[in-house]
């Protein structure tokens, strides 16, 4: 009874473990199937419109929303207060940009609020508006020298360690247009994404415009390591080529892209106009399913921020779904089930029998006698066949024939036809079959 209950409600086939143990020479591992833990206003978020996510050196997760700032300690969300006693609420709405500096101070910015710095330990709060090129702040980053760079709707500013503001030059080689993205790398450079493409600033504050191989797009986000930078634009994702120019990554959709993340598992996450995509470490591109079609799917379509935490979990900030999380070992396990909108998914929610099919695929059976061939590398099931209303109890492929154990006995499928075996002697459920060494 316990097995039946579990099979019914797991909604899944544990293909990852079975496929790995079936044949060591399987050409591809199972397709990844992310299972998200989601957080919303019911869990304490000030808003389900999450614009930015960052982690400080102590492990706290900071979440920026238009309704305010929240801190997550792994158990609950709290809304920070200013002042030495922390009793005064941080009344700052419309936050769309955030960064954590080297001293764990939180920098936040947004439309019509300028940029502000919040010191968590002292409760000290400082805000800059009048000295900026514009009080509509789009991006914030701290460079290696401690300066905080602020991208606004009208250009680029730099806040020095003493709190003074320096407006950067607005000539032909410097950003005098809306700056949407800032990214500081370990080599001391600052990468800028704006309405005219990409610029880089070196440690001596010299600006250089980086050319594109095709028409220059608007750049929305810059991320990645200094040797593997990713530029999200309104025409897809670009990378810096050996010729010093930016080339579009043709493996990814050529659509408006908000952000990317190369995680420590070798996967590339891409948040774009049509949702979230995953380019796995084997080079396969997958569309990540939403919670409206798959159990524990992504809780929204509009991902705006992606962060990998110190424990290698991945966090997703959604403008229409709050916060989503994948644990460090999320891709060690794949989960397959019936999806009403996918004709290639399994035909039912419960699986009662699994067996190897050749070197890389599976035979899968369930209630009411259905059997399908299933490819874990693609997550797709074949048309298959049915053997009647009896529940499939066990399956075994031998020399091109499929032996089928049901609650009514034993059958065999060969050359497209199914017939019963020794039904007059074998009338009990066949729950297990083993291939001997001589077969």
pLDDT in tens, 65-84: 988 899 999 999 998 877 66
Residue 426 lies in a domain: no
Please tell me whether residues 294 and 219 are part of one structural domain: yes
Report pLDDT for 90.
Answer: 66
Please tell me whether residues 176 and 27 are part of one structural domain: no
Name residues of the chain where pLDDT drops below 70: 1-27, 83-91, 169-176, 437-439
Residue 169 lies in a domain: yes
Please tell me whether residues 265 and 385 are part of one structural domain: no
Q: What is the CATH number of the domain that holds 366?
A: 2.130.10.10
Count how many domains the chain has.
2
Please tell me whether residues 133 and 54 are part of one structural domain: yes
Select from 343, 335, 338 the least CA-distant residue to 383. 343
Please tell me whether residues 118 and 254 are part of one structural domain: yes
Token representation of residue 108: 């936040």
Report pLDDT for 20.
Answer: 41
Report pLDDT for 174.
Answer: 58
φ, ψ at 331 (rounded to 5°): -90, 10
Token representation of residue 131: 């000295």
- Boundary-marking domain end, from 332, 366, 401: 332
φ, ψ at 43 (rounded to 5°): -95, 0
Please tell me whether residues 208 and 158 are part of one structural domain: yes
pLDDT tens-digit map of 46-58: 999 999 999 999 9
Find tokens 């000030």 and name the residue.
46
Report pLDDT for 24.
Answer: 43
Please tell me whether residues 274 and 342 are part of one structural domain: no
Residue 430 lies in a domain: no
Report pLDDT for 85.
Answer: 57
Report pLDDT for 112.
Answer: 80
Q: Which domain holds residue 409?
A: 2-31+336-421
Interacting residues of 6 by C-beta distance below 8 A, sequence separation 6+: none
Q: Tell me the pairing of strands 197-201 and 207-210.
A: antiparallel
pLDDT tens-digit map of 267-304: 999 999 999 999 999 999 999 999 988 889 999 999 99
CA distance 349 to 365: 11
Token representation of residue 277: 């995509």
What 3-state DSSP class applies to 243?
Answer: coil
DSSP 8-state code for residue 7 = H
Interacting residues of 339 by C-beta distance below 8 A, sequence separation 6+: 289, 293, 294, 345
Give the count of alpha carbons within 13 A of 162, CB side only.
2
Please tell me whether residues 408 and 319 are part of one structural domain: no
Residue 55 lies in a domain: yes
């Amino acid at each position: 009874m316990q097995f039946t209950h579990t099979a019914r409600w797991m909604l899944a086939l544990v293909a990852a473990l079975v496929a790995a143990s079936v044949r060591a020479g399987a050409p591809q591992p199972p397709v990844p199937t992310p299972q998200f833990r989601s957080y919303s206003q019911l869990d304490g978020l000030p808003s389900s419109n999450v614009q930015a996510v960052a982690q400080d050196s102590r492990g706290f997760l900071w979440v920026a929303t238009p309704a305010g700032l929240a801190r997550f300690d792994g158990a609950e969300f709290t809304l920070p207060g200013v002042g030495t006693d922390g009793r005064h609420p941080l009344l700052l709405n419309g936050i769309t940009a955030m960064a954590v500096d080297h001293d764990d101070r939180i920098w936040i910015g947004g439309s019509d609020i300028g940029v502000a710095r919040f010191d968590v330990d002292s409760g000290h709060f400082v805000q800059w508006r009048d000295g900026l090129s514009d009080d509509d702040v789009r991006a914030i980053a701290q460079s290696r020298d401690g300066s905080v760079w602020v991208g606004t709707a009208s250009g680029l500013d730099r806040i020095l360690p003493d709190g003074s503001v320096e407006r950067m030059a607005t000539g032909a080689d410097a950003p005098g247009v809306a700056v949407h993205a800032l990214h500081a790398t370990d080599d001391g450079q600052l990468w800028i994404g704006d309405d005219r493409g990409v610029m880089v600033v070196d440690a001596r504050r010299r600006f250089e415009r980086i050319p594109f191989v095709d028409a220059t797009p608007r750049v929305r986000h810059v991320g990645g390591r200094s040797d593997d930078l990713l530029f999200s634009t309104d025409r897809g994702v670009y990378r810096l080529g050996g010729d010093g120019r930016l080339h579009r990554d043709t493996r990814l959709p050529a659509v408006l892209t908000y952000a990317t993340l190369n995680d420590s598992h070798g996967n590339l996450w891409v948040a774009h106009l049509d949702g979230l995509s995953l380019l796995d470490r084997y080079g396969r591109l997958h569309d990540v399913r939403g919670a409206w079609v798959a159990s524990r799917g992504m809780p929204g379509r509009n991902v705006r921020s992606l962060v990998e935490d110190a424990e290698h979990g991945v966090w997703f900030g959604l403008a229409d779904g709050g916060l989503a999380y994948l644990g460090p070992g999320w891709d060690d396990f794949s989960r397959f089930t019936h999806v009403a909108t996918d004709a290639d998914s399994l035909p039912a929610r419960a699986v009662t029998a699994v067996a190897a099919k050749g070197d890389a695929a599976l035979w899968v059976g369930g209630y009411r006698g259905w059997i399908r061939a299933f490819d874990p590398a693609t997550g797709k099931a074949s048309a298959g066949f049915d053997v009647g209303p009896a529940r499939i109890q066990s399956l075994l492929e031998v020399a091109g024939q499929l032996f089928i154990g049901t609650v009514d006995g034993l059958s065999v499928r060969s050359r497209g036809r199914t017939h019963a075996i020794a039904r007059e002697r074998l009338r009990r459920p066949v729950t297990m079959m083993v291939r001997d060494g001589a077969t």
